[in-house]
Amino acid sequence: MTYSRICCIAIWGLLAACTTPSERFDGMAQERGFHRTEVEGGDFSHVIYDNGKLGTSSTLHVYLGGDGTPWIGGFIIASDPTPRRPVTLKLMAMDNSPSLFLGRPCYHGYSDRHPCTPDYWTTARYSEDVIDSMAGVLRKIMTEYGHTNLHLVGFSGGGGLAMLMAEKFPETQSIVTIAGNLDVETWADLHGYDPLEGSKNPKSISPLPTTIRQYHLAGGKDTNIPPGIIRDALINQPDSRYILFEDFTHICCWEEIWQAVLACVADQCEGSHLSPR
């Protein structure tokens, strides 16, 4: 390798290190052809990305990302909690239905905007303020583009948000959670984290209407949110479908089965064929 090539690689690495998580996320969204919009949700600003098909049918798929990086090294509050590994963007890129990624309050470069405080991406990341603001944005989009059939998709912490938001939308047809954090209390205890004071626990909500088809996907090798937490969190959701993928981790390998999951949701299947138990 030549000296000049080594220098170029080193400079590229330094430039990449200087970009923020929100800038990298935005770049990955643009690479996939998604359109970025800023939408107000009450007191908070939100970033959404859509696949250019809003308003083309009554159906809308809404993707909710994970918690990202609220803490650095477990001790320092991050100045930009935006996800570093956007699993939801990869899945949404495989979806041919009208779809959007709905960003959280204070994420995507907005952490210093009023009324943001670190609570909204640490202890209160699943608070009523967060849920209401995200629901407000989604209601605006659905009204503007005429979507009346809602399908919620949530990865990791976004899975918990999907459960908490669904009860606010009678248009909800299905929920798909992927390695979802459906019991924040047990999850925090497992990892020795401080309790998420101010957050709602998805496990504690009342049973959702049986008209909402629930698919909860778990990875057998997931050490962040072990499958047992997901399974046990569904005790109050008797009409849900728990589907275990033995060889999957928290991050890998959800793209492999995503087309089959989308087809299953569209066909209102039971989901038992997606993965052997």
**What CATH number does the domain containing 115 carry?**
3.40.50.1820
**Does residue 72 fall inside a structural domain?**
yes
User: Rounded to an integer, what distance in angstroms lies between the CA atom of residue 92 and that of residue 86?
Assistant: 10
Per-residue pLDDT, 7: 36
User: Average pLDDT of the chain?
Assistant: 92
Number of compact structural domains in the chain: 1
Mean pLDDT score, 53-61: 98
- Residue 111 pLDDT > 70, yes or no? yes
Q: Is the pLDDT of residue 270 over 90?
A: no
| 26-48: pLDDT as tens digits | 999 999 999 999 999 989 999 99
Given a cut of 50, is residue 245 above it in pLDDT?
yes
Say if CB 153 and CB 61 are below 8 A apart: yes
Q: Is the pLDDT of residue 6 over 90?
A: no
pLDDT reading at 10 higher than 70 = no
In a domain, 275, yes or no: no
Q: Is 194 a member of any domain?
A: yes
Q: Is residue 247 part of a domain?
A: yes
Average of per-residue pLDDT across 80-106: 97
pLDDT at 276: 53
Which residue carries 């170029």 as its tokens?
Answer: 8
Give 129-169 pLDDT, tens digit per residue.
999 999 999 999 999 999 999 999 999 999 999 999 999 99
Task: Collect all residues with Cβ–Cβ distance below 8 Å to 230 and sequence separation of at least 6.
Answer: 177, 179, 180, 182, 183, 216, 218, 242
Stretch 87-114: mean pLDDT, rounded? 97
pLDDT at residue number 255: 97
Residue 106 · residue 81 · CB < 8 Å: yes
Residue range of the domain that includes 68: 19-267
How far apart, in Å, are the Cα atoms of 162 and each of 4, 74, 205? 49, 26, 12
What is the pLDDT confidence band of residue 3, given thresholds at 50, 70 and 90? very low
For residue 7, being part of any structural domain is answered with no
- The confidence score (pLDDT) of residue 13 equals 39
Is residue 131 situated within a structural domain? yes
Query: Per the domain annotation, does 168 fall within a domain?
Result: yes
Asked whether residue 13 is domain-assigned, the answer is: no
